[in-house]
Structure 1
């Protein structure tokens, strides 16, 4: 189906999300198709961490009376889940008539069918229906569901009426499904979901409950623009660089297998509103409010340099990086800064902008801004033409990265620079 962007909210509203989201985060029991969750007094202590994220990037036309089945890919597994629903950029209260979560039928990334026996009803404070105020998020009650790492979940949401502009993540690189008429959230089969979408509607996060043995790992957030969001990579394959980083982490001992949360937004800027609120404005909602975050990787700034109006002062970007680091450190989060990758050959590239990019990269490498540096520029640039990326990593637009380029970025990250516990 065609997704129509209906407008953007003032970036400053994103700063109000955290208090509302945290206040509404609920960890109690919840009704499911398998019966209510009851804690086992013999069970070992467990903890929660984020396994998936999609940052709100704007708004789309609402789908009154429809059910949307979002497909999301986990980075870490667990024994229970809870789901974050967002009306962060909406202008009216969002009324959800019903919501469910299930595992997708295996080996069928373009299927709306749920794996048999995994459909669960989501509740919010014990109620199946919830109203989310404009500018806020809510988090569902916990439901028991065994979720493997690197699995696809179906998060289905029904909007019975017109709740105004729908908060969404435009570029999912993942096929989702829409049933245009009625509440079909509990359908195990996908027959009613005859329309498709390339965006995620309303759902912006999934947490999993993990065993005590994995407590030290926490989560890593990747904050960025389209290079992190995955533009240029193959849809429906989960080959963005944060996906590949999650794959690397899953090979570690259990206590170090962090979840990886992708807070990339195509078109995003560090200092100004672009597509979605600026990185500074959305930082609390997309990083600090997430569950179990121990490390942040920042790859932001290229759209400030090449955008309109363009940022010509490297010191302004440096000051913004310092502010992000200050706010992260206040929460005990370690920050890794990534150098800005080359875009020579792209229509927006100029010699003046190239000089700014190189100056910013010198600041990232030598300015002591971050706890560690991931030198993405050094990994992907063409040795003969350092203003350009290597041809093997170029999907053709000279800005984004293909699957091989995404893998190269992720593989260059020193895992010892991440706070993964021991």
Structure 2
């Protein structure tokens, strides 16, 4: 047995042992519980999403040739004792051949890994995997301590171009590129190029006993955090994750499924929210609640879109979520006066949509981003401190206000 295969086998056995021990502990606790009400019972370990990025675009691979490694940097919301990743070729036009994948905890702010954390990732025991056109693959469990509110390195080495590749272009996070298969490099010296997109990777789940489940935020560029400071994790779902997990009272994974330019009703920048809802929300590990923050692009890019069209779309999302036992929190649409596409007619429709959302008849609960961020002296505009400058997207302060506007008690 070679060293790499031995490490993979050891990691798999470690995970199995942990699960078996947990099952034994549960069985003993349950048996003892019949005689003593005070016997503690450990919660079962479950898979819950800690990070996600919706496949959004087909693009040429960074580096322009086969035989490269992409070191994706992703930020966790919750931690665990093991992880698994999801690779996507959803938007590819030919099979994507992957030679090897690794996972590590990031050291500092560059492409290097914390010593001793680099792990080889396998798929049904094999290091290499081919993703069919339109397909995805979930890895085997990787035994590794995953930190709360920390950075991971997910490195993917390809052996064929497989272009175009599936990317999430507005990452607001720097990732790294190296020539050749450098998945097993703990250091970062080989990673001489940078990219602002996540490639191939669409999700990371963790195995944990310390969680209430996952919250999925689905939306457009405002959820994607398009104007937030890069490499700082200042999108509003990041702020929400920090609030929920900082004091140890809630422990929810928070998954950001925003796509810049996305619409509720029609395809454009990525599939419509209605079209991708099953994949990007309902299929996520451990999901319990979805926050729906979508619709402004339908108005900006579809002038014939009515309030009734949007509310009917929201009602359909709620119906699908309820069929899976999920709670749905709906967000009001924020003001946009001053933006070049924002007209008085659009503002009138936006007001009708928000009035319908606030009635409580569409969603289980409401987060009022409109009231939280609008200028009290000009309610059709963002408050200047919350405006990034384009009169549509929030500043870092605006995103922070959005993250604080979500009431944990309503999740």
Q: What is the TM-score when the length of structure 1 is the normalising length?
A: 0.88
Residue 195 of structure 2 corresponds to which residue in structure 1? 197
Equivalent residue, structure 2, for 1:73: 75
Kept after mapping to 2: 8 A contact 1:30/1:123: no
Contact between 2:83 and 2:206, CA under 8 Å: does it hold in 1?
yes
Q: How does 1:57-72 map to 2 (within 5 A)?
A: 57-62=56-61, 63-72=65-74
Alignment counterpart, residue 97 of structure 1, candidates 96, 99, 120: 99
Match of 1:42 in 2: 21
Match of 1:210 in 2: 208
Secondary structure of the corresponding residue to residue 396 of structure 1? coil
Instruction: For residue 216 of structure 2, give the secondary structure of its aligned residue in structure 1.
Output: strand
Per the alignment, in what secondary structure is the counterpart of residue 32 of structure 1? helix
Counterpart of 2:225 in structure 1 is: 230
Q: CA deviation at 1:367?
A: 5.4
Residue-by-residue CA offset, 1:215-257 (whole Å, 9 max, x unaligned): 5x10000000000000121110001000000001013445x21
User: Unpaired segments of 5 or more residues in structure 1?
Assistant: 1-28
CA distance, structure 2, for counterparts of residue 223 and residue 403 of structure 1: 19
Partner of 2:122: 123
1:376 corresponds to 2:369: yes
1:122 touches 1:140 (CA, 8 Å); kept in 2? yes
Q: 1:347 aligns with which of 340, 346, 361?
A: 340
Distance 1:186 1:34, change over 3 A: farther
1:386 equivalent in alignment to 2:386: no
Quick one: higher RCO (CA 8 Å, sep 6+), 1 or 2? 1
The structural deviation recorded for 1:136 is 1.5
Distance in 2 between residues matched to 1:36 and 1:326, nearest whole Å: 39
Partner in structure 2 of residue 279 of structure 1: 273
Rg larger in structure: 2
Contact kept? 2:218, 2:292, Cα under 8 Å: yes
CA RMSD, 1 decimal:
1.6
- Corresponding residue of 1:26: none
Aligned position for 1:144: 143
Displacement, 1:33? 9.0
Native 8 Å contact 1:30 1:142 kept in 2: no
1:291 aligns with 2:291: no
**Number of the residue aligned with 2:89:** 87
Structure holding more helix per residue? 2
Using the alignment, how far apart are the partners of 2:76 and 2:273 within structure 1? 24
